[in-house]
Structure 1
């Protein structure tokens, strides 16, 4: 049966990305889809963007990717969480200064949505929701709207990221999957999270959690002057 790995919210965490890559190689999974937010939060945005670019994996633009491209107050106002505090602003400013031209060029070419034809039917992937890149779709999102998105796209599978909270929901005859975050968990479990979808006539999905070198990324955060993010990294928050 064909397997597809869905990754999201890598957020400049090269250690976590490497752990996922190793797990995919162990499982012999070759089809991979990325739901954006390659940069932000952690300290290796250029390395993560380069790794995704070299992989050739289809990837959509995340709200943080778009914020960095827009830059400054416009980036914050248009693409980041409304009312963000001084610490997230400091991380954004640091990221904006460090992102190289080749990373910006790669991010600027990412689409807002990807459609794939699979053995299970059409799969639609975006970062936030089909309506807005920074809309949060949580595990208890109203089923009626999930069903409407599936129907509007004529999709059997809808893949969404952005919240960093993984879930798999059967909605009518379709499947809605949020793989959680590879790079920056927010559900209290600091391990990397991704989704593995079996693309049969009745598609199924599971959430995979993996350990990664947390100490290495925490050390890089501290060296970058972003110590405020270290405790939350260890807490998975």
Structure 2
């Protein structure tokens, strides 16, 4: 089965629509969303409705919980905090109902999914380095754990001898003797200095993962952010991929 794995949409409808068009073009069987549907971007309700209708399973991210009053906003930087407050003011009852019931983690067909980290997913920590990954491999039994949260695509693998490595291959052959933590990047706010939307494609029969990048109408999203009253920095960062 071919899984499309999306994460960190952040209210960016133009990016989400472009990613879904590419997913359809590539013939994915199932869409999985790792959370952070809302926050930062100008179309939270439209993105919630789209994910609700298209994704087989959706997890909660910290930006999904925060507008519902489930997280202390002092944890967030000023731009994120203002965006959360704006999002809370604009979410519909249907969106709130959907977001508040999302799980933090799930086990699928031979792989694990979580927004942040398999170790204490409700603490919203990051995995961006081998050092941060080491303790997390003990927290899932499957061969692969797919994550989001950092907005930076990353693949960290470990073998039976506990030799850890960062892998850059794309597409990536999933080898039986390795276990993986794979960050699929961000649909709506990439931070790896590549402004194109990102998502992952995982084929569990061919044992193959591909990070896919998709261009979208950044200018349209920027215009919406500026006209909505959200911080201008949230528009500016999109074209920089940071």
TM (norm. structure 1) is 0.87
CA gap of 1:56–1:9, structure 2 versus 1, over 3 A, is closer
Contact 1:177–1:205, Cα closer than 8 Å, also in 2: no
Note the alpha carbon deviations across 1:79-111, whole angstroms, 9 max, x for none. Answer: x44xx23x3322121111111111000001111
The answer to whether structure 1 residue 16 and structure 2 residue 15 are counterparts is yes
Unaligned runs of 5+ residues in structure 1 are none
Could you say which residue in structure 2 is the equivalent of 1:174?
179
- What is the DSSP-based 3-state SS (H/G/I as helix, E as strand, rest coil) of the residue aligned with 1:9? coil
Please list every run of at least 4 consecutive aligned residues from structure 1 whose deviation after the TM superposition is greater than 4 angstroms. none
RMSD of aligned C-alpha atoms? Answer: 1.7
- What is the DSSP-based 3-state SS (H/G/I as helix, E as strand, rest coil) of the residue aligned with 1:162? coil
Unaligned runs of 5+ residues in structure 2 are 160-177
How many Å separate the matches in 2 of 1:3 and 1:132? 26
CA gap of 1:185–1:6, structure 2 versus 1, over 3 A, is same
Could you say which residue in structure 2 is the equivalent of 1:190?
195
Q: Given the alignment, which residue of 214, 218, 221 partners 1:214?
A: 218
Note the alpha carbon deviations across 1:178-221, whole angstroms, 9 max, x for none. Answer: 100000011111110111112137x3312111101101100000
CA gap of 1:69–1:143, structure 2 versus 1, over 3 A, is closer
How many Å separate the matches in 1 of 2:221 and 2:138? 40
Q: Given the alignment, which residue of 80, 98, 103 partners 2:95?
A: 103
How many Å separate the matches in 2 of 1:156 and 1:182? 24
Could you say which residue in structure 1 is the equivalent of 2:53?
54
Could you say which residue in structure 2 is the equivalent of 1:157?
144
How many Å separate the matches in 2 of 1:49 and 1:205? 26
- What is the DSSP-based 3-state SS (H/G/I as helix, E as strand, rest coil) of the residue aligned with 2:108? strand
How many Å separate the matches in 2 of 1:204 and 1:103? 34
- What is the DSSP-based 3-state SS (H/G/I as helix, E as strand, rest coil) of the residue aligned with 2:53? helix
How many Å separate the matches in 2 of 1:143 and 1:39? 26
Q: How many residues align?
A: 221
TM (norm. structure 2) is 0.86
Contact 1:40–1:64, Cα closer than 8 Å, also in 2: yes
The answer to whether structure 1 residue 225 and structure 2 residue 229 are counterparts is yes
Q: Given the alignment, which residue of 58, 70, 88 partners 2:80?
A: 88
Note the alpha carbon deviations across 1:156-192, whole angstroms, 9 max, x for none. Answer: 1101110000012332222221100000011111110
Q: Given the alignment, which residue of 135, 145, 156 partners 2:135?
A: 145
